[in-house]
Amino acid sequence: MMNFTADRLLLFGATGDLAQRMLLPSLCALDHDGLLDPELKIVGTARSDMSDAEFRNFARAALEKYLPAGRRGGMADFLNRLSYQPLDATTIEGFDELAKKVGKPQKGLAIFLSTAPSLFEPTIAGLQSAGLAGANVRIGLEKPLGTSLETSEEINDAVASAFSEDRIFRIDHYLGKETVQNLLALRFANIMFEPIWNSNYIEHVQITVAETVGLESRVAYYDDSGALRDMVQNHMLQLLALVAMEPPTSFDSTAVRDEKVKVLRALRPVKDGETVTGQYRAGAIAGKSVPGYDEELGKDSDTETFVAIKAHVDNWRWNGVPFYLRTGKRLPERVTEVVIQFRPIPFSIFEGKGAKTQPNRLVIGIQPEENVHLSLMAKVPGLDREGIRLRPVPLDISMPDAFAGAVKRIAYERLLLDLIVGDQTLFVRRDEVEAQWEWIDGIRAEWTAEAQTPKTYAAGTWGPSAAIALAERDGVTWHDE
């Protein structure tokens, strides 16, 4: 493993949306907290022609817009770390100038690559030609990494031609979220969950990633991608792997990722009738009318903006437990959550007294609120002359309340810091990516074979009615409250 803390950070796509909203604010916040090495220099590169001073002004504007005022202390010192080199990544000529700008790192160089997939191969070739791919260089790759197993392998081969796997950091920003990591703490730091985290006690699992937004600025990308490739292939399958994985032997990158890969390889190929796709039409979100996908796009399209899947993990722990996944745009609320639905108790001693029991349910909220909610059965107070009454009572842990005073960090803060210091635990390994794509490609092939096209749903609803039926056929109701 490459154990060095980089003293140079090279940001590709440094004038893009991600850099403005996430990368520059994250780095400034880390600097404010004293977490960046004093020697770290940050070089931005993109097509735009800018001087160092112009880039610093650009960065200042992004920080003032996107970083909370309380975390902007020492902004001038942070801006002094920045410099900029224009580059057209499609030609090899500019890379020597870029290497000059980066200079010779004392310890090592970390590269963050946030570019269009078509630029991956020429960029890697350019980095190699300019001596920016040596043993003391590691690279972070932002998605999308291909649109299928085949295209993903091409990109991975191109990167592997210059960088060994222990120097490649594939980013899934969901893994940087505090609650996603808390999922592991919940499972593996508490004795009461692991013994019942299996098919004997769990009836089903639901994973929802719902967005209220439509296409916004991602029209061309999204129409080529769709909900399955944009959300399920990466974020949702990573969440599923964390929920379903066996206990790793330690919290290090190899052990954690070995267990995730086993889950992804155990996913049963999806059959006809186990998926529902949808595309939103005009409707209302939060009382405001919004246009349909076809209107935003300006043409008809078969791209899905909603997908629901009934998945199965074929192994000892999860045999017979369905995992219901759903994600979509223009849904009623923005929410990412994991629901663990436990089985009913085997026998109720209270039934003769007229009391009804409900199975326990664990809800792990990831966004917008980070919380853990466990419903337990309790007796309603009273003398019970008419019979005993039971009711579910929530046991709530709100993360911001439980850890008052803790700074709410941007997911990219942790990921950028881990890239700089070289910790791969929260990054995705090549065999994980390829196992994910293999399963996703199987679903797309099934859609093609069945000539499945998206059903329409009104913006502001929970997708097509067929998605409700997908769960209700099994007596399951989606967790929508």
Residues 141 and 187 in one domain: no
Q: Is 32 labeled as catalytic in the residue annotation?
A: no
- Round to whole Å and give the CA distance between 203 and 328: 24
Residue 189 lies in a domain: yes
Statement to judge: residues 379 and 438 lie in one domain: yes
Where in the sequence is the domain holding 113, given as residue range(s)?
A: 8-171
Q: Is 143 annotated as a binding residue?
A: yes
Distances (CA, A) of 272 to 73, 210, 231, 449, 451: 56, 24, 21, 9, 11
Q: Is 432 annotated as a binding residue?
A: no
pLDDT in tens, 298-317: 889 999 999 999 999 999 99
Does any domain span residue 413?
Answer: no
Model pLDDT, residue 1: 45
271 is in an annotated binding site: no
On whether residue 70 sits in a domain, the answer given is yes
Q: Which residues contact 160 (CB under 8 A, 6 or more apart)?
A: 168, 430
Last residue of a domain, one of 144, 171, 198: 171
Q: Is 329 annotated as belonging to a binding site?
A: yes
- pLDDT of the residue at 120: 87
The answer to whether position 3 is within a domain reads no
Domain identity same for 194 and 206: yes
For residue 32, say whether it is annotated as part of any ligand binding site.
no
Q: Is residue 28 assigned to a domain?
A: yes
**Do both 289 and 364 map to the same domain?**
yes
- On whether both 190 and 123 belong to a single domain, the answer is no
Last residue of a domain, one of 143, 171, 199: 171
What is the DSSP pairing of strand 41-46 with strand 82-86? parallel
Report pLDDT for 392.
84
For 99, the 3-state DSSP assignment is: helix
> Per the structure, how many domains does the chain have?
2
Indicate whether 51 and 130 sit together in one domain.
yes
Q: Residue 36 and residue 24: Cα distance in Å, rounded?
A: 13
Residue 137 lies inside a defined structural domain of this protein: yes
**Phi-psi label, residue 195: left if phi above 0, alpha if psi -120 to 50, beta otherwise:** alpha
230 is in an annotated binding site: yes
Residue 260, domain CATH: 3.30.360.10
249 shares its domain with 153:
no
Whether 368 and 435 map to the same domain: the answer is yes
- By three-state DSSP, how is residue 443 classified? helix
Contact 9, 60 (CB under 8 A): no
* H or E element that contains 281: strand 275-281
β pairing state of 371-379 and 390-398: antiparallel
Q: Final residue of a domain: which of 123, 146, 171?
A: 171
Please, what are the averages of pLDDT over each run of 10 residues along the chain (481 residues)? 84 94 94 92 96 96 90 87 95 94 94 86 94 95 89 93 96 86 90 95 97 81 90 95 96 93 98 95 91 90 96 97 97 95 92 85 89 87 77 79 68 93 93 96 96 95 96 93 58
Residue spans of beta strands (DSSP E) within 26-133: 41-46, 82-86, 109-113
The answer on 294 and 237 residing in a single domain is yes
Q: Which of 32, 204, 235, 312 is catalytic?
A: 235
Question: Whole-angstrom Cα distance, residue 65 to residue 20?
Answer: 9
Q: Are residues 20 and 69 in the same domain?
A: yes
Task: Return d(Cα 258, Cα 263) in angstroms, integer.
Answer: 9
pTM beyond 0.85: yes
Specify if 234 maps to a domain: yes
Provide the token pair at 166: 């222990």
Provide the CATH number for the domain around residue 13: 3.40.50.720
Same domain, 107 and 126: yes
- Is residue 1 included in any domain, yes or no? no
Question: Is 47 labelled as part of a ligand binding site?
Answer: yes
* Residue 454 tokens, joined: 């998206």
Q: Are residues 236 and 160 in the same domain?
A: no
